[in-house]
Amino acid sequence: MVQADFRGLRAGNDPSLRVGFRKKQPVKIGCLNAAPMSTAPLSEKAKALIRKARIVSFASWHDVYSAEVIQRFQAADDQGRYLTDADLGQLRKANPETAASLQIVATLRDQVNAIVDEARGSVLAAFPDMTEPGGGLYPAERALACWRDFWHFLRCITYGIAGQRPDYTSAEGLHHMQLLYQELHVPLDAMVIGLEGIKQASLQRLDGPSPELAAYFDHLITQLKQFR
């Protein structure tokens, strides 16, 4: 599961105060910041998978975007943060045709806390005992890691929206993420419901339903479902 060093949304990181996130140093794996699903130390296998599980890839974007633009995306991903206002301004300047998409990204970024809260509610409604002893998100550290994953899932989706590229994931990285989730015994059904909740909560905050926009969410949902 993921864990981030939260320093405020405008800097690209989510403080997530309402779900009690604690500030710790992240372990980078590209799209996500890894943290174990329990308080037990990570196995050597998990540590090896973390290094390979780079979920987002911009390798196929070079036919459309300049190296400078791609570097902005890559820097945000490497730092585990959302695109900042400065990033969005430079992207808009370099590619004016993406202005509407970039505004959507800013909207989702600025409302990520509420979106994650709603996704969390969807999971707990479907699995009311999951955070209780014996549940897949017990003890509390496992649940917190799950909610952090939701924050990072939306972060990755916003990269795709900003670049107008639904193909924002890495097949190799997702394969290693699947192996990592298996190693950490991540409750996949809960993660899928949470990601679907992120989609619903996000689209409700935009101007009407958009099949084109939904495709960015559906892409990651489909990939996650294949982990089962």
Does residue 3 form part of some domain?
no
pLDDT digits (tens, 9 = 90+) for 38-52: 456 789 999 999 888
Closest Cα to residue 116, out of 214, 31, 18? Answer: 18
- Beta strand pairing call for 33-34 and 27-28: antiparallel
Does residue 89 form part of some domain?
yes
**pLDDT score for 49:** 92
Residue 145 is part of a domain; what is its CATH number? 1.10.490.20
Does residue 38 form part of some domain?
yes
Residues of the chain with pLDDT under 50: 1-12, 14-38
Closest Cα to residue 215, out of 160, 174, 171? Answer: 160
**pLDDT score for 35:** 41
Rounded CA gap, 174 and 56, in Å? Answer: 9
Rounded CA gap, 72 and 2, in Å? Answer: 22
pLDDT digits (tens, 9 = 90+) for 59-93: 999 999 999 999 999 999 999 999 999 999 999 99
Does residue 28 form part of some domain?
yes
Does residue 140 form part of some domain?
yes
Cα first-last separation, the chain? 16
**pLDDT score for 209:** 67
Range(s) of the domain holding residue 85: 9-225
- Run of H or E residues at 33: strand 33-34
Q: How many domains does the chain have?
A: 1
